[in-house]
Amino acid sequence: MPSSELSSRISQRLMQEIASGSIAVGQHVGAQQVADRYGVSRTPVREALNTLEARGLLSRQANRGYFVPENISDSLLQWLKDQHHKDVDPYHQMANDWLTNRVPEEVTEQFLRQEYGWTKTKVNEILVRATREGWAERKEGYGWRLLPVAKTPESFEQIYRFRLSIEPSAMMEPTFKLDRKVLNEQRRLQEHMLEADLGSMADETLLANGSIFHEEIIKLSGNPFFLLALQRVNRMRRLMEYRAKIDRERIVVQCTEHLEILELLEKGDVVDASYKMRQHLSGALKRKSPLAWNWASDSGK
């Protein structure tokens, strides 16, 4: 994918997070931090940061880097908040068509160009992202294969049962170490979600904030394999959750339970926090299972 196109997508994602308050006023936005969070290299991130500076959404301070300024105009913030009301972007259009069996299991780039009227560059961009999120792979010969990960209620439930196995256990690892900076930042994000107008937040932002909380906590285990496993299944389950209508009331429950886990960790009660994490994931599975079955019914399964 050309760097300019990737940087444009990074810019859009950062703008959503600034508009929603996930990236707070006055917060430092480092190139390496963003690159690690989005799984990209520093070059397109630097391009994206320069773009946002030109638009007045970031300010650069000598020898300190980029920060979210306090004087962003109300009209610009409102424009950012309105972005999630736009039509579905090409990536989500294809993901939705795959989930509802409107595209075949094996496709070629030429087929996608003809089917959607996309350019060669756009098709490549979408397939690269689909590969990164775990639902597409290039065939050994010619063409692409779309994978049935998290495409059924059964696979969605299996993902949550896998998370029930690894996330509470990771908190009990002998290498698990509390990091006050991480806990404080996650508390800020969860409290902001409870105070914010969730209706103005893009679905991607709401889903990403939940994933980030769990990935930051499992990262404290000191075992990188726990984190890699969780990141992979999180990418897979997003497909089904993109398809469903986000329940804002459920987000409130989610954030409240996240804060309860954080409070236990802040007290040093890791065993209780691990048990609370198990309860949290078990409850999430019960709440989301009907969503998965209804969605499967809608797709003709």
Does 60 share its domain with 181? no
pLDDT above 90 as % of the chain: 31
Of 69, 85, 101, the residue at which a domain comes to its end is 85
Q: What is the CATH number of the domain that holds 284?
A: 1.20.120.530
Q: What is the CATH number of the domain that holds 58?
A: 1.10.10.10
Does 170 share its domain with 265? yes
CB 174 within 8 A of CB 222: no
Give the span between the Cα atoms of 246 and 243, in whole angstroms: 9
Q: Could you read off the pLDDT of 93-147 as tens digits, one per residue?
A: 888 888 778 889 999 999 999 988 888 988 998 998 888 777 889 998 889 999 8
Given a cut of 90, whether residue 221 has pLDDT beyond it is: yes
Measure Cα distances from 132 to 3, 22, 141, 236, 239 in Å: 16, 23, 20, 10, 12
The angle at the Cα of 134, spanning 144 to 106, to the nearest 5 degrees, equals 20
Task: Determine how β-strand 59-61 pairs with β-strand 106-107.
Answer: unpaired
Does 222 share its domain with 141? no
Does 292 share its domain with 158? yes
Does 138 share its domain with 258? no
Provide the domain count of the chain: 3
Q: Comparing 178 with 79, which gets the higher pLDDT?
A: 178
Does 119 share its domain with 202? no
Task: Provide the residue range defining the domain that includes 190.
Answer: 153-298
CB 145 within 8 A of CB 285: no
Q: Could you read off the pLDDT of 141-185 as tens digits, one per residue?
A: 889 999 877 667 777 788 889 999 999 999 999 999 999 999 999
Does 275 share its domain with 166? yes
Of 101, 117, 146, the residue at which a domain comes to its end is 146
Q: Comparing 36 with 293, which gets the higher pLDDT?
A: 36
CB 81 within 8 A of CB 281: no
Does 172 share its domain with 269? yes
Does 280 share its domain with 176? yes
CB 126 within 8 A of CB 94: yes
> Rounded to two decimals, what is the model's pTM?
0.65
Does 244 share its domain with 197? yes
CB-side exposure of 287: number of CA atoms within 13 Å?
16
Residue-averaged pLDDT of the chain? 82
Q: CB under 8 Å to 257, separation ≥6 — which residues?
A: 276, 279, 280, 283
Q: Could you read off the pLDDT of 261-291 as tens digits, one per residue?
A: 999 999 999 999 999 999 999 988 887 654 4
The pLDDT of residue 297: 43
Does 102 share its domain with 129? yes
Does 51 share its domain with 95? no
